[in-house]
Structure 1
Amino acid sequence: MPEEVLFESERRQQRTEVADYLRAVADKLEAGSSITLEAGDQSVTLEPPGDVEFEVKAEREGPTDGPGELSIELELEWDEHRSGSDDGSDGSLTIS
Protein backbone atom coordinates (compact mmCIF):
# COMPACT_ATOMS: atom_id res chain seq x y z
CA MET A 1 0.00 0.00 0.00
CA PRO A 2 1.53 3.36 -0.97
CA GLU A 3 2.28 5.85 1.77
CA GLU A 4 1.57 9.58 1.57
CA VAL A 5 3.38 11.80 4.07
CA LEU A 6 0.88 14.42 5.24
CA PHE A 7 3.23 16.16 7.68
CA GLU A 8 6.82 15.77 8.82
CA SER A 9 8.94 17.63 11.32
CA GLU A 10 12.28 16.56 12.76
CA ARG A 11 14.72 18.57 14.82
CA ARG A 12 16.82 18.27 17.95
CA GLN A 13 15.01 19.53 21.05
CA GLN A 14 15.34 19.49 24.81
CA ARG A 15 13.59 16.62 26.61
CA THR A 16 11.27 19.09 28.36
CA GLU A 17 10.14 20.50 24.99
CA VAL A 18 9.38 16.99 23.71
CA ALA A 19 7.42 16.28 26.91
CA ASP A 20 5.33 19.41 26.26
CA TYR A 21 4.42 18.14 22.76
CA LEU A 22 3.55 14.68 24.09
CA ARG A 23 1.40 16.24 26.85
CA ALA A 24 -0.46 18.32 24.26
CA VAL A 25 -1.20 15.20 22.19
CA ALA A 26 -2.26 13.30 25.33
CA ASP A 27 -4.59 16.13 26.36
CA LYS A 28 -6.22 16.19 22.90
CA LEU A 29 -6.66 12.40 22.90
CA GLU A 30 -8.18 12.45 26.38
CA ALA A 31 -10.58 15.25 25.42
CA GLY A 32 -11.60 13.50 22.17
CA SER A 33 -10.44 16.55 20.21
CA SER A 34 -8.82 16.80 16.81
CA ILE A 35 -5.03 17.19 16.69
CA THR A 36 -3.46 19.87 14.51
CA LEU A 37 0.24 19.63 13.64
CA GLU A 38 1.93 22.80 12.36
CA ALA A 39 5.51 23.66 11.42
CA GLY A 40 6.51 26.40 9.00
CA ASP A 41 4.14 26.31 6.03
CA GLN A 42 2.98 22.75 6.83
CA SER A 43 -0.25 22.00 8.66
CA VAL A 44 -2.53 18.98 9.05
CA THR A 45 -5.50 18.29 11.32
CA LEU A 46 -6.37 14.71 12.23
CA GLU A 47 -9.35 13.36 14.18
CA PRO A 48 -8.42 10.11 15.93
CA PRO A 49 -11.43 7.88 16.72
CA GLY A 50 -12.25 6.64 20.22
CA ASP A 51 -9.86 3.71 19.87
CA VAL A 52 -6.64 3.54 17.89
CA GLU A 53 -3.86 1.04 17.32
CA PHE A 54 -0.96 2.12 19.56
CA GLU A 55 2.50 0.86 18.66
CA VAL A 56 5.54 1.36 20.87
CA LYS A 57 8.94 0.37 19.57
CA ALA A 58 12.48 0.71 20.95
CA GLU A 59 15.23 0.35 18.34
CA ARG A 60 18.99 0.39 18.08
CA GLU A 61 20.47 1.19 14.69
CA GLY A 62 24.13 0.77 13.89
CA PRO A 63 26.89 -1.81 13.98
CA THR A 64 26.46 -4.73 16.38
CA ASP A 65 30.00 -4.27 17.71
CA GLY A 66 29.94 -0.51 18.27
CA PRO A 67 27.89 2.45 19.37
CA GLY A 68 24.69 3.09 17.46
CA GLU A 69 21.63 5.29 17.57
CA LEU A 70 18.79 4.49 19.98
CA SER A 71 15.18 5.50 19.46
CA ILE A 72 11.73 5.21 20.98
CA GLU A 73 8.92 5.32 18.43
CA LEU A 74 5.32 5.98 19.43
CA GLU A 75 2.71 5.53 16.71
CA LEU A 76 -1.06 5.94 16.66
CA GLU A 77 -2.80 4.34 13.70
CA TRP A 78 -6.40 4.00 12.53
CA ASP A 79 -8.33 3.38 9.34
CA GLU A 80 -9.46 6.61 7.72
CA HIS A 81 -13.09 5.54 7.25
CA ARG A 82 -13.45 3.15 10.21
CA SER A 83 -16.30 3.47 12.65
CA GLY A 84 -17.08 1.60 15.82
CA SER A 85 -14.74 -0.01 18.32
CA ASP A 86 -12.38 -2.97 18.02
CA ASP A 87 -10.79 -4.30 21.19
CA GLY A 88 -7.95 -6.28 19.64
CA SER A 89 -6.01 -6.27 22.89
CA ASP A 90 -3.16 -8.76 22.97
CA GLY A 91 -1.55 -7.74 26.25
CA SER A 92 -1.02 -4.72 28.41
CA LEU A 93 1.70 -2.13 28.00
CA THR A 94 3.49 -0.46 30.89
CA ILE A 95 5.60 2.66 30.47
CA SER A 96 7.50 3.77 33.54
Structure 2
Amino acid sequence: MPEEVLFKSEQTQSRSEIATLLRRVADNLDSGESITLRAGAEEVTMDPPANPTFEVKAEREGPAGQPGELSVEFELEWDEDASSDDGGSLEIE
Protein backbone atom coordinates (compact mmCIF):
# COMPACT_ATOMS: atom_id res chain seq x y z
CA MET A 1 0.00 0.00 0.00
CA PRO A 2 1.55 3.36 -0.98
CA GLU A 3 2.26 5.87 1.74
CA GLU A 4 0.99 9.47 1.54
CA VAL A 5 2.76 11.95 3.80
CA LEU A 6 0.13 14.31 5.24
CA PHE A 7 2.55 16.37 7.34
CA LYS A 8 6.27 16.38 8.06
CA SER A 9 8.43 18.57 10.28
CA GLU A 10 12.05 17.96 11.20
CA GLN A 11 14.14 20.41 13.18
CA THR A 12 16.70 20.49 15.95
CA GLN A 13 15.12 21.42 19.29
CA SER A 14 16.12 21.25 22.93
CA ARG A 15 15.07 18.26 25.01
CA SER A 16 12.80 20.57 26.99
CA GLU A 17 11.06 21.85 23.83
CA ILE A 18 10.54 18.28 22.61
CA ALA A 19 9.15 17.26 26.01
CA THR A 20 6.66 20.13 25.84
CA LEU A 21 5.42 18.98 22.42
CA LEU A 22 5.15 15.35 23.52
CA ARG A 23 3.33 16.44 26.69
CA ARG A 24 0.79 18.32 24.55
CA VAL A 25 0.18 15.17 22.49
CA ALA A 26 -0.13 13.11 25.69
CA ASP A 27 -2.59 15.59 27.20
CA ASN A 28 -4.73 15.56 24.04
CA LEU A 29 -4.72 11.75 23.94
CA ASP A 30 -5.62 11.58 27.63
CA SER A 31 -8.56 13.96 27.22
CA GLY A 32 -9.81 12.40 23.95
CA GLU A 33 -9.10 15.54 21.92
CA SER A 34 -7.84 15.70 18.35
CA ILE A 35 -4.15 16.34 17.67
CA THR A 36 -3.30 19.26 15.39
CA LEU A 37 0.19 19.41 13.88
CA ARG A 38 1.24 22.81 12.56
CA ALA A 39 4.46 24.19 11.07
CA GLY A 40 4.30 27.42 9.10
CA ALA A 41 1.43 27.20 6.60
CA GLU A 42 1.22 23.40 6.90
CA GLU A 43 -1.39 21.93 9.23
CA VAL A 44 -3.15 18.61 9.75
CA THR A 45 -5.63 17.55 12.45
CA MET A 46 -6.01 13.90 13.37
CA ASP A 47 -8.44 12.20 15.73
CA PRO A 48 -6.96 8.94 17.05
CA PRO A 49 -9.49 6.33 18.19
CA ALA A 50 -9.72 5.18 21.81
CA ASN A 51 -7.31 2.26 21.18
CA PRO A 52 -4.77 3.01 18.43
CA THR A 53 -1.70 0.82 17.93
CA PHE A 54 1.34 2.35 19.66
CA GLU A 55 4.70 1.46 18.13
CA VAL A 56 8.05 2.34 19.71
CA LYS A 57 11.33 1.75 17.86
CA ALA A 58 14.96 2.38 18.79
CA GLU A 59 17.27 2.28 15.77
CA ARG A 60 20.88 2.73 14.73
CA GLU A 61 21.50 3.69 11.11
CA GLY A 62 24.89 3.45 9.46
CA PRO A 63 27.59 0.92 8.60
CA ALA A 64 27.69 -2.18 10.81
CA GLY A 65 30.19 -1.94 13.65
CA GLN A 66 30.73 1.81 13.22
CA PRO A 67 29.15 4.83 14.90
CA GLY A 68 25.94 5.87 13.21
CA GLU A 69 22.79 7.89 13.84
CA LEU A 70 20.58 6.82 16.74
CA SER A 71 16.84 7.43 16.89
CA VAL A 72 13.79 6.72 19.00
CA GLU A 73 10.49 6.74 17.10
CA PHE A 74 7.01 6.90 18.60
CA GLU A 75 4.14 6.11 16.25
CA LEU A 76 0.37 5.87 16.63
CA GLU A 77 -1.41 3.84 13.95
CA TRP A 78 -5.07 3.16 13.20
CA ASP A 79 -7.28 2.31 10.26
CA GLU A 80 -9.24 5.25 8.92
CA ASP A 81 -12.43 3.19 8.90
CA ALA A 82 -12.05 1.04 12.04
CA SER A 83 -10.75 1.09 15.61
CA SER A 84 -7.58 -0.83 16.43
CA ASP A 85 -7.45 -3.81 18.78
CA ASP A 86 -5.87 -3.52 22.21
CA GLY A 87 -2.26 -4.77 22.21
CA GLY A 88 0.18 -5.84 24.91
CA SER A 89 1.48 -3.41 27.49
CA LEU A 90 4.63 -1.33 27.05
CA GLU A 91 6.69 0.22 29.82
CA ILE A 92 9.00 3.21 29.34
CA GLU A 93 11.44 4.16 32.09
**TM-score, length-normalised on structure 2?**
0.94
Which whole-Å deviations, capped at 9, do the CAs of 1:32-91 have from their partners, x for residues lacking one? 0001000011000000010100000000001122210000000000001114x622x2x3
For structure 1, the residue ranges without an aligned partner over 5 or more in a row are none
Q: Runs of 4 or more off by more than 2 Å in structure 1?
A: none
**Is residue 44 from structure 1 mapped to residue 54 from structure 2 by the alignment?**
no
**Residues matched between the structures, number:** 93
Report SS of the residue matched to 1:66: coil
| 2:36 and 2:46 in contact (8 A); partners too | yes
**Is residue 94 from structure 1 mapped to residue 91 from structure 2 by the alignment?**
yes
Structure 2 CA distance for aligned equivalents of residues 94 and 47 of structure 1: 24
Structure 1 CA distance for aligned equivalents of residues 17 and 48 of structure 2: 23
Structure 2 equivalent of residue 17 of structure 1: 17
**TM-score, length-normalised on structure 1?**
0.91
Does 1 or 2 have the higher relative contact order (CA < 8 Å, sep 6+)?
Answer: 2
